Structures are given as C-alpha cells and as structure tokens.
Amino acid sequence: GQQLNQSPQSMFIQEGEDVSMNCTSSSIFNTWLWYKQDPGEGPVLLIALYKAGELTSNGRLTAQFGITRKDSFLNISASIPSDVGIYFCAGQRDDKIIFGKGTRLHILP
Amino acid sequence: NAGVTQTPKFQVLKTGQSMTLQCAQDMNHNSMYWYRQDPGMGLRLIYYSASEGTTDKGEVPNGYNVSRLNKREFSLRLESAAPSQTSVYFCASRMGHLVAEAFFGQGTRLTVV
C-alpha cells in the first residue's frame, strides 16, 4: 500500500536550535498536513498545505508542499521546551489519508 | 468547545473480555474514524464512517466492530479482547470524507492482559 517515509525518526536538539523534518512518498498527494502530539494527548493539526509549492507559516513553524507533490517538510525555528512531542505528517489523495510514523523531538536544556 | 471526546481514558481488560470505546464530536462533522497507535507503527485506521448510516473497514479491522449511533457518536467494540489489541486508540472526525483536516480525541490507552 501507500507509504509515507518520515525522517528523522527522532531528534535530540538544544533549546534555541532550529529543527527540520520531512516526509516523502512515491505517490502524489493533493493535501499535506502536519500534526503534533503531546505526551498523553491526541494529535493536533498544526498546518495544512493545499497546493504544490505552497509555503505556509504558523508562528515559529513553517511547512512546504513539495513541487513534485510527493514530499513536504516542516521547520521549527528557535525551539523551546514545549516543542517536545511527536510530529506527524499526513498526505491526502481523494478519500485516503496516510500518516507518517512520526518524528519524536527531544529538547535538551 | 469540547471537539472530540473519548471515554474511557484508560482501561485494563483480561483476555476474552469485551468492551466498547465511546467517541462523540460536537463539531457537526459528517465523518468519523477509529485509529490505533502502536510504537513504531504510526496511526493505523481500524474503521470509519464516512457519513451517518455508513461504516467501512480500514487497514486493521479484524477483532473490532463499530456503530455509528448518530451523527455525533461513533463507538468501537472489542468482542473478545486479545493481548495484540493492547494499544492507544484514537477517535477522529472530519467535516467530510474528502476533507483532509482531522480532529482527534485525547485517546484511550487499553491494556489487555
């Protein structure tokens, strides 16, 4: 079946550093979404991207929909302790949504 | 604004017991979903209801049944729990089945011993 390859699986960074993660697929998607899951909670939608090439920001978060429609990346600038969690990408085509396996972000004091 | 509410938050079952996980949404969404989340596996779709009155199998439906009770509520039933069903279960809703944005509940952490 369709798969999303999300990388890296986990990251350990210092507070204040910038973070970059991405998702790639062999399939084309119409919409890319990025979610964050805090420990013990459900995923929360951060950013939705609807057009190839689209670059969207939400505070310190920036995400882009790849030109080929097969990839997307998420950047977090100047990380803070509350950025800790698991970040999921998701791609949608027609009625199917496929989730990546997540990037677990750890922030060292 | 509650969004998607799941009950219970935690549950321990013995092998062979049955239970129903409840989910309700107050956003007037048409479509509702049940996922399970296991370490290293991401979110896997168990069953979904694209609209009131319909239900369909997802990626991992075996051992589960669902009921779309009304537009607000979508329950997941384990008839005879097995240790392999130990997982965190999430309910989600979307405005429509062709709409990408999903809103998730807080999850039910289920342990089957």
Closest chain B CA to residue A2: B59
Contact: A43, B90; criterion CB under 8 Å: yes
Q: Which two tokens stand for residue A60?
A: 């310190």
What is the reported pLDDT for B72? 97
Sheet holding A61-65, edge to edge: A5-7, A19-24, A71-76, A61-65, A55-58
- Residue A2 is predicted with a pLDDT of 62
Q: How far is CA A70 from CA A64, A90, A102, B8, in A?
A: 11, 11, 17, 38
> Residue B1's pLDDT is what?
62
Given this model, what pLDDT does residue B67 score? 97
CB < 8 Å to A40, chain B:
106-107
**CA distances in angstroms from A2 to A41, A93, B39, B112, listed in the order given:** 26, 11, 19, 30
Instruction: Name the residue facing A48 among B97, B100, B104 (closest C-beta).
Output: B100
User: What's the confidence (pLDDT) of residue A1?
Assistant: 55
Nearest residue to B110 via CA among B92, B83, B91, B79: B83
B7 touching chain A per CB within 8 A? no
Q: What angle do CA B89, A94, B95 make, to 5 degrees?
A: 55
- Extract the residue ranges of chain B whose pLDDT is less than 50: none
| Model pLDDT, residue A94 | 85
> Is B97 touching A (CB cutoff 8 A)?
yes
Instruction: Determine contact: B101 vs chain A, CB below 8 A.
Output: yes
Chain A residues closer than 8 Å to B103 by CB: 45
Residue B2 touches partner A, C-beta closer than 8 Å: no
Probe site for chain A from B29, B37, B43, B51 (most A CB atoms < 10 A):
B43
A71-90 pLDDT per residue, tens: 999 999 999 999 999 999 99
What is the tens place of the pLDDT at every residue in A16-72? 999 999 999 999 999 999 999 999 999 999 999 999 999 999 999 999 999 999 999
- d(CA B89, CA B38) in angstroms, rounded, equals 9
